[in-house]
Structure 1
Amino acid sequence: MRNIRLPTLCLGASLLLSACAVPRPPEKVEAPVPAQWNTPLPASTAALPHGGSLPTLAEWWRQLNDPLLVELIFAAEAASPTVASAGARITEARASRVAAGAALIPNLTGTASASRGNSPSSGFSTGSTSGSTDGIPTSLPILTTGQAGLQSSWEIDLFGGLRANRDASQARFVGADAQWHEARVSVAAETANAYLAERACRRQLVVSTSDAQSRAETARLTDLSARAGFTAPADAALARASAAEAAGRLTQQRALCAVQRQALSALTGIEAPSLDAKLDAASIDVTLPAVQAVHSVPAEALAQRPDIFAAQLAVAAASADAGAALAQRFPRLTLQGSIATVQVRAGGFRETLDTWTIGPLALTVPIFDGGTLAANSEAAKARYDESVAVYRARVRQAVREVEEALINLKSTDERASDADTAVTNYQASFDATQQRYGTGLASLFDLEDARRTLFVSQTARVSLQRERAEAWVSLYRAMGGGWSRPESVATTTNPVTPSP
């Protein structure tokens, strides 16, 4: 009992000392949020958007009642190297977390060894002198030794360095999960923009086709009239030039739409013929849901952004790293122990021994290292300061993105009715001018001017529709993967952890 009393007392003292952890920088920092936003950004770790539920994230896109868009988004996420890379980082972070947690508990190693040979000592030890001359053995027995045992080593976390490493690894693991969601949000937004741009291109193609057909018909009739001597040759030349210009625009528009489809095919990984069939079967008119006027956005919404969430966790990880680096400047205490069974055989002799040890209990104190540990601690503090700066910068950028998206949505909503009114009235003006031209009461110049004005107004309306769609997608991305009015927010009680 006296032999184990000292290690036992030392172990108890070390466990008491392990409660004395070194201080860390603050894990939670304030973020710059506009004063008009109705609540402060919570410093605590927030949940991932929609609890990370993939079906719930898809619901935001289903507001468009366009199944093809949802299909394309899922296809793009499956084909995206960015999402795959983020999934691999989750696996890497999970392994690092397990390793960091394992350092806090004793490790156990199994050992086994065996040897076989002869030596003079073995002959003398068994009392065998057979075949000896003058007491020197000439035939020595074979000595066989076997050993099996367990060895254990434990670094007692006196100043919390190992716990800090574990906390940093845990924060990075959760942060990697958030970055996986951020990659999904980015790919979804990029796919939606590409799809809505292709739909807008098709709508503009309809406008260009109608304009080209109208100009071609005018050129045909004018040419017939000129041949009959009722129209001046200059008017016929003008009509042919106008028709050729419209035909050129139509060819260019077709090429633009083909390029849009190729980009969408590359993004989603769907073969071009199959994608063309899907796009041709879908309606080119996409009705965006109405977005109510927002005078103040809850600041909690920013905390739902995966990048803000990951930046918060990066601050927590950097804080833990700073604590771990500081702990390296203090003494380290390790305890070792082992148990083993040894069997010895020599000739007719056999003996089995059971052994055990507790110790040594080793204390390592850094005395002189040329300033390495102090420099490592300062570097860790600098990385913490950098993570805080990055977090605050991302919050400011998020505020800017949200407000810009809301401003653009409001602007496009207010301009939509004016664009519709302009198209309606320019169409009526063109129809009237075309009738007057048919009866000889309007010149070809009047007709071409009315046609050009109508084409410009129709093109402006298509551009406005695309601008509103881009603002709508920007709001989706700025709010971290989907946003709805507070009274219609659905909470997810069972978050789904991704399995990349």
Structure 2
Amino acid sequence: MPAAEPGRRAALLLGMALLGGCGGGLITTVGPDYGEPAVPAAPRWQAPQPDVPRAHGGDPASLKRWWDRFDDRVLARFLAAAQRESASVAEARSRIDEARAGMVGAIAAGLPNLNSQTDFVRQEGSFGGPVFEWTRYQTGLQSSWEIDLFGGIARQREAALSQLDARTDAWHDARVAVAVEVANAYLGYRHCQALVNIAAADAASRRASARLVEVAGQVGLRAPADVALSQASAADGQELLARQHGVCERAVKSLVALTGLGEAEVRHRLTAQPGQLARLPEPPPFRLGGIPARALMQRPDVAAAERQVAEASASIGVEEAKRYPRLSLSGNVTPTLQSINGAALYLAHTWQIGPTLTLPIFDAGKRAADVEAARARYEASASKFRATVRTAVKEVEDALVRLHNAEERLPEARAAVRGYRDNFRATDQLYRIGLGNLIDVEASRRQALNAERTVADLEQERVSAWIALYRAAGGGWEDSDNHALAGAPGAGEAARPAAGTTENPS
């Protein structure tokens, strides 16, 4: 046989392995081919959608820039700070790095590896005669390459890519979750300040009434019982105001913890513009377009769950391939310099190359059990995906119901405020001219106060429902710098668009 023949055969084998390994195994690819699971969702949304004007034809727009359209710089600053400081976002980012490292390992498993080893040995010995000294300098290159006969390595790459996609989606979900948490905390503070304003106006009214009743009591125009009741009402108003201030203080502490900003900076930003102190952020309205199944797949958590199903499917093939023969090609080149008893060094070298075929014969059922375990993990992942979709449907429907209910109740609540205010003014006037009693005045005051608080609560609920709908619809988050995904882990290869099935009036 010519000396070059083994080399040509090896090159042919390597070429065949390359061609076969591009899309699967050299012989076949075992394990199931993945198909996206069906999304268990109704053909249309059941809850009524908000009546949003569709300016300019209602061109579809992404929700990624939704926060910027609040036109609230304080909220935008808090959102950006929280993204940098969030431990959950940092953890999700680190898991992407882990998945990327796993992807590198999966790719490397299908490529040749090359190692080098160098050693120096000096020894003395004899074989029943004079002692001799032997010196050796040796270096070598070793290489091995597993040929993917049955697609196990290809399935490993498939699983690694699905894992990277899933963790990138989880990172997007963590960012959205942080944005929603900060927005709700900010909304809670603004709502709290609105309640402070209501409580402050009520406390001032009670103090003014108490002073008038006290003066009238001093000259005998009001009974001591009325004086005591008016003073108790004024104290009750002050207590309610102080309690509301305490709630607002706790809201400030929450924003400090979420954003990582100093408390002085948080307070300055919240109070720098007195006109906005009790002004709730105004959410940009949008409508959910398309069928629910398509809209839900834009949610990062649903997309991540689907990618986990794909990873589990590929893992079945990885375990199945272990039940079949494995072929690897290995070789080494080892030049050696050696000398005996200090004589001149002389060179000797060896090389070898050849295939190794490993046949699984008996393992007491371990490999078969591993395949069954992989199938069980696949079923669990598919079940988790369906549960995630059902939860997503519930969240969308809940948010739509909350929004519809708040917008339906607000006009009636505002009308009730006007009526109770008129009733309080009339009752108070009657009492001032001596035709009424203070008990009726205070009862009317409480009704008006409760009505005003109800309106403030409904306005807060309306904005909170919009935020919940934004997240449930799969909204994304971007910095106000225009580059939310700049430098994002995995953004180049695994990021997918969010909320591509929304309509937002421009």
Q: Is the pair's TM-score, using the shorter chain for normalization, greater than 0.5? A: yes
Q: With CA pairs under 8 Å and 6+ residues apart, which has the higher RCO, 1 or 2?
A: 2
**Residue matched to 2:58:** none
DSSP 3-state at the match of 1:399: helix
Partner of 1:487: none
Q: Residue 50 of structure 1 corresponds to which residue in structure 2? A: none
What does residue range 41-440 of structure 1 map to in structure 2 within 5 Å? 59-120=65-126, 138=130, 140=132, 142-282=133-273, 283=276, 284-289=278-283, 291=285, 298-346=292-340, 347-359=342-354, 361-440=355-434
> Could you tell me the percent identity over the aligned residues?
39
**Are residues 392 and 7 of structure 1, via their aligned partners in 2, closer, same or farther at CA, if it must alter by over 3 Å?**
farther
Aligned-partner Cα distance in 2 for 1:249–1:301: 45
Superposed CA deviations along residues 399-434 of structure 1, whole A, max 9, x for unmatched, are 111111112112211222222222223223323333
Report what 1:46 is aligned to: none
How far 1:213 sits from its partner (Å)?
1.2
RMSD (CA atoms): 2.7
- Any gaps of 5 or more consecutive residues in structure 1? 39-55, 122-135, 484-491
Task: Report SS of the residue matched to 1:458.
Answer: helix
Q: State the one-letter code of the partner of 1:77.
A: Q
TM-fit CA distance, 1:242: 1.6
SS at match of 1:221: helix
Asked if structure 2 preserves the Cα contact closer than 8 Å seen for 1:73 and 1:192, the reply is yes
CA shift, 1:139, in A, is: 6.8
The yes-or-no answer on 1:22 pairing with 2:30 is yes
Q: 1:296 to 1:461 in 2, by over 3 A?
A: farther
Residues 27 and 315 in structure 1, CA contact (< 8 A), matched pair in contact too? no
Q: Deviations over 1:116-170 (max 9, x none)?
A: 234458xxxxxxxxxxxxxx86474x43221222110111111111111111111
Worse-matched range after superposition: 112-121 or 216-225: 112-121
1:498 aligns with 2:488: yes
- Structure 1 482/120 Cα, relative in aligned 2: closer, same or farther at 3 Å? closer
Give the Cα–Cα distance (whole angstroms) in 1 for the partners of residues 288 and 5 of structure 2: 71
Task: Give the residue type in structure 2 aligned to 1:275.
Answer: V
Q: Which amino acid aligns with 1:433?
A: T
1:50-89 deviation digits (Å, cap 9, x = unpaired): xxxxxx8763112221111111112122221111111111
Rg bigger for which structure? 1
The residue identity in structure 2 corresponding to 1:219 is: A
Q: How big is the shift at 1:320?
A: 0.8
Q: Does the CA-based 8 Å contact 1:405-1:475 persist in structure 2?
A: yes
Deviation, structure 1 residue 190: 0.7
Q: Helix, strand or coil: the match of 1:299?
A: helix
1:437-464 CA distance string (max 9 Å, x none): 3333433233222211110110101111
The whole-number CA distance in structure 2 between the counterparts of 1:294 and 1:87 is: 29
Matched residue SS, 2:324: coil
2:43–2:291 CA contact under 8 A, matched in 1: no
Change in CA separation of 1:295 and 1:112 when aligned onto 2, cut-off 3 Å? closer
TM-aligned CA deviation for residue 222 of structure 1: 0.5
Contact 2:34–2:314, Cα closer than 8 Å, also in 1: no
Q: Is the 8 A contact 2:42 2:292 kept in 1?
A: no
Shift of 1:10: 7.5
Greater Cα offset, 416-425 or 227-236: 416-425
Q: CA deviation at 1:342?
A: 1.7
CA contact (8 A) 1:90 1:177 kept: yes
- Consecutive unaligned residues of structure 2, counting only runs of 5 or more, are 47-61, 491-506
Structure 1 residue 482: Cα displacement: 4.8
Amino acid at match of 1:440: G
Deviation readout 1:75-112 (Å, 9 max, x if unpaired)? 12222111111111111111111111101011100111
Deviation of 1:272 after TM superposition, in Å, equals: 2.1
- CA shift in 2, pair 1:37/1:405, >3 Å: closer
Across the two proteins, how many residue pairs are aligned to each other? 459
What is the SS of the residue equivalent to 1:366? coil
